[in-house]
Chain A
Amino acid sequence: MAFLKPSRPQPGVLAAFAHIDAAVDAIRALRAMGLRKLVVYSPAPNHELEEALAHRVSPVRLFTLIGGLTGCAAGFGMTIWMSYDWPVLVGGKPIASLPPYVVIGFELTILLGALSTVAAVALFSILMGRRGVAYDPRFSDDQIGIFVPAPADQVGPVENLLRSAGAVEVRREAA
């Protein structure tokens, strides 16, 4: 449960924005300065922020695929193996017949696909998430937050940039 342990705070600047266009401007300007390790908080997912940050597609989809295929294989594998492990011969019909096993294969595809998707989010978002980054409760309410990690000697220009982009508050976070 790494997310419950306190971790060493990172030095940097935390800014709060009330306007989406201001936040997008700030992100673009920061990225143009070469500052790419930003953490952007928002109360809901937002396409403009996503575009400005230009992230790659989340790797979660790979986990969904692997989970789904594993479930499908497990469903058919289990039913076929169990049928032959204790064969029940009925009127010369096949011991393992695939059509009814489609139901089991399908259900396990969905089950493992869904569980591995959620496990992937827990892994990427929570367990592998960045630690010690400053946060403010406003960011889950109605404001956008941008945290810029920066050592003490670089915070000046970053603060100025965030203010001129239209931040409603800029706060310096010491190590």
Chain B
Amino acid sequence: MAVVTPPATVSHEGHAPPLTHSDITRDVVATLGPASRGYVLLLLLAVGVFLIGITTFLVLIKDGLGHAGYNPPVFWSVYITTFVFWVGIGHAGTLISAILFLFRSPWRTAVYRSTEAMTVFAVMTAGLFPIIHIGRQWIFYWLLPYPNQRFLWPNFKSPLIWDVFAISTYLTVSTTFLVFGLVPDVAAVRDKVSGWRKTIYTWASVGWRGTDNEWRHYSRAYLYLAALATPLVLSVHSVVSWDFASGIVPGWHGTIFAPYFVAGAIYSGIGMVLTLIIPLRRALRIEHLITEYHFDNLAKLTLLTGSILLYAYAMEYFIAWYSGNTFEQTTFYRRAFGPMWWAGWAMIICNALVSQLFWFRKIRTNITSLFILSIFINIGMWFERYVIIVSSLSNDYLPWAWDQMNPTWADWGILAGSFGWFGMWFMLFAKAFPIVAIQELKEMIPMPRRRGAHH
């Protein structure tokens, strides 16, 4: 059995570190070198899939939302599902970069930059979906409180307006956090490259030199940003969950929704982290920086949040039975045995049950099994939102009004396009900026001493 010990890169103990500060700079700067053929092919694939989405979107703008599978009474379907899916993906990044920073978890250092980039691009993707979904996309700015001719203001009692504020704040703050953390690393890259790349990184480093004064303000500010991002990440998916929980639709109107959504968000996000960084660390040759130890810890987080989901699913069914409310009971019965039974079981198996496999260390530390299970997590969490949204809407209080919706090419085109758009940004980022935080890894390695190593 593999015994997982923290590698010396992230060790506080007195072991002789095999990696020095200059090794870190060299290996991370090397990831920014010329792109391999595999990278170019993957990027072209992402752009191609994104173009499918763009084409679908142009058709939607021209003809309207009729192409999508909306069918009364289901007027929230794949776009809103995918919106919630991508917002959720973002949450793992902020958990790792901000919450684990406050908890002083040393293992976060190696993975936090890639997860934070994932957060920014996932929220960027998510933000497009409400706009696609509203139909008349060119007047989306009506959602914002701005002084228009009649001085009409948005209804701040509506969860949909809370969402506008929550998502735009989340996008702004997580982008700020990512860019802020990048500045010292960009400065380190600047000092290693030459030619036109040096010019670009010099501008991007905004004159950073790592002086005592700069670090003094930077370290403090980083702490405050983490402290601000922590409640923010918990609030964002709570607000998203209230889009549903505030409505009196059976299956939605529960107080459990906020914590249930936050746990699901982090679970799905870590699934996406695993899907992204397992191939990435091989492509960029940073297997010695992101190791089995980090995957083991990520898998433990998945186990924790997946178990919360298991509890939430069980509790939803229990409360539906215990409430004695016919509508609630019918909704939950139909989730498991109604026309959408396959989606309902996909959600329970991929989330609640697959996560329980992470009790086994052999699974947590096996990269192949982690990668396969992470795909299940992504699928399961998309279906969770699909089930919650579509199954509740398709059978509410009036049985004669019940109907099903079937996603069309317009739904799938936009969904696929969102993966292309997200993948394109993530891959461009990984080649343009250090995907492993240079400065924070260095902080973990004690600097050499003249008078022998001691701590």
Interface Cβ pair total, 8 Å cutoff: 194
Tell yes or no: A45 within 8 A of B by CB. Answer: yes
A124 to B169, CA, bound (A): 25
CB contact between A21 and one of B25, B162, B209, B451 (< 8 Å): that residue: B451
Kindly provide the distance from the CB of A96 to the nearest chain B CB, expressed in whole angstroms: 9
Contact across chains for A100 and B156 when beta carbons are under 8 A apart: yes
Tell yes or no: B13 within 8 A of A by CB. Answer: no
Q: Which residues of A contact B208 (CB under 8 A)?
A: 125-126
Q: Which residues of B contact A85 (CB under 8 A)?
A: 151, 153
Contact across chains for A121 and B180 when beta carbons are under 8 A apart: yes
Contact across chains for B440 and A78 when beta carbons are under 8 A apart: no
Q: Which residues of A contact B37 (CB under 8 A)?
A: none
- Chain A residue nearest to B186 (CB atoms) is A140
Contact across chains for A78 and B176 when beta carbons are under 8 A apart: no
Please choose the segment from A8-16, A50-58, A154-162 that sits at the chain B interface, where 4 or more of its residues have CB less than 8 A away: A50-58
Q: Told that A42-B212, A110-B231, A113-B224 touch, could you supply 9 new A-B pairs with CB distance under 8 A?
A: A38-B212, A39-B212, A43-B25, A43-B188, A44-B215, A44-B442, A57-B220, A60-B221, A113-B228
Tell yes or no: A170 within 8 A of B by CB. Answer: no
Tell yes or no: A73 within 8 A of B by CB. Answer: no
Q: Which residues of A contact B225 (CB under 8 A)?
A: 114, 117-118
CB contact between B216 and one of A4, A55, A83 (< 8 Å): that residue: A55
CB contact between A45 and one of B20, B215, B239, B449 (< 8 Å): that residue: B215
Interface secondary structure of A, over-half rule = helix
Q: Which residues of B contact A133 (CB under 8 A)?
A: 211
Contact across chains for A117 and B224 when beta carbons are under 8 A apart: yes
What are 24 sample pairs from A and B whose C-beta atoms fall under 8 A apart?
A: A19-B447, A19-B448, A19-B449, A44-B210, A44-B215, A49-B212, A50-B212, A50-B215, A61-B220, A83-B156, A104-B161, A104-B165, A106-B231, A107-B166, A107-B169, A108-B165, A110-B173, A114-B172, A114-B177, A114-B225, A117-B224, A125-B211, A141-B188, A142-B22
Interface residues of B (CB under 8 A from A): 20-22, 25, 145, 151-157, 161-162, 165-166, 169, 172-173, 176-177, 180, 184, 187-188, 190-192, 206-221, 224-225, 228-229, 231-232, 235, 239, 439-440, 442-443, 446-451
Contact across chains for B235 and A42 when beta carbons are under 8 A apart: no
A interface residues, tally (CB under 8 Å): 66
Tell yes or no: A66 within 8 A of B by CB. Answer: no
Interface residues of A (CB under 8 A from B): 3-4, 18-22, 38-46, 49-50, 53, 55, 57-58, 60-61, 64, 68, 78-79, 82-83, 85-86, 88, 97, 100-101, 103-104, 106-108, 110-111, 113-115, 117-118, 120-122, 124-126, 129-130, 133, 135, 137-142, 144, 166
Q: Which residues of B contact A121 (CB under 8 A)?
A: 180, 217-218, 221
Residue with the highest number of chain A CB atoms closer than 10 Å, among B152, B217, B232: B217
A130 to B184, CA, bound (A): 17
Kindly provide the distance from the CB of B446 to the nearest chain A CB, expressed in whole angstroms: 8
Contact across chains for B192 and A20 when beta carbons are under 8 A apart: no
